[in-house]
Amino acid sequence: MRRVLLGIFVFSVFIGAVSLAAQTPNDILARHEDAIGGKNVISQVKSISMETTTHVGENDIPGTVVTLDGVASRTEMAINGAKMVQCYTAKGGWMVNPMAGMADPTPMPDDQYQMGKNQIYVGGDLHDYAAPGKKLELLNKDANTYTVKLTTKDNTESTYVFDAATYLVKSIARKGKFQNQDVIATTSLSDYRKTDIGLMVPYAISIDFGGQFSLSITVNKVEVNKPVDPDICAMPKASPQPVEGTATPN
């Protein structure tokens, strides 16, 4: 009897190991897609509007993130009465950052745009993971996580860590810039909650810029398919500068 039980145990472990080994990157991404709601639910999402609080040190900064799927994504934060704006579209990006001396809309540097341009899609880089030109590699697998590297057709690389039980994303790492230095920026995601149409969204987000700076974001409210102005990311013209020797208009 002992040998029979041992044989059953070894066989079950073997079957589990084969199942784990059979997971390909595409299998993992397909299961992730199902975990966040499935293709039918995802296809219904036309826009996502979020109210957020960004925690930096002892400061809590209110903000909003609005994404019109495949069209544009706009992030706003209010700091000491000044508005910071970051916008992405399919054609380019721009920003307003008074804290960095950019009070007027300024075109986004290309490297920054390339790193964030897929924010316009629900699902980000993963929205079309099987599209031609994208490459998936399974870097690591264990009892708790799967680590998959995704390379886009323009050679932007992102490393995703998936929970092996839920297939939800635990973290995303990619190259970025902090104070003009190249760093690995790691975004950790948790506290997933289901929206009214069934889409799973993380309500807790933390970002670490290569150990040099970190912040966390709490999502306070999520609205799916709220009407969104398609021109949310139309770049406004800069404020006219007064001509020397003339009075500034009131």
Dihedral sign, CA of 169, 129, 125, 180? Answer: positive
What length is written for the chain?
250
Q: DSSP string of 107-157?
A: EPPHHHHHHHGGGGSTTGGGGGTTSTT-EEEEEEE-SSEEEEEEE-TT--E
**The pLDDT value given to residue 238:** 63
User: Nearest-5° angle of CA 161, CA 196, CA 203?
Assistant: 40
**The pLDDT value given to residue 99:** 81
**The pLDDT value given to residue 75:** 96
- Give the whole-angstrom CA distance, residue 206 versus residue 203: 10
**The pLDDT value given to residue 98:** 87
Report the candidate in 50, 54, 35, 79 with the shortest Cα–Cα distance to residue 205: 54
Per-residue pLDDT of 8-62, as tens digits, reads: 333 333 333 334 444 799 999 999 999 999 999 999 999 999 999 999 988 899 9
Amino acid at 184: I
**The pLDDT value given to residue 20:** 44
Per-residue pLDDT of 217-229, as tens digits, reads: 999 999 999 999 9
**The pLDDT value given to residue 10:** 37
Q: Please list the ranges in the chain whose pLDDT falls under 50.
A: 1-22, 242-243, 245-250
- Give the whole-angstrom CA distance, residue 115 versus residue 72: 15
| Mean pLDDT, all residues of the chain | 85
**The pLDDT value given to residue 237:** 77
Distances in Å between the alpha carbon of 193 and those of 38, 62, 173, 185?
15, 20, 22, 24
Q: Give every CB contact of residue 25 below 8 A, 6+ residues apart in sequence.
A: 136, 137, 138, 148
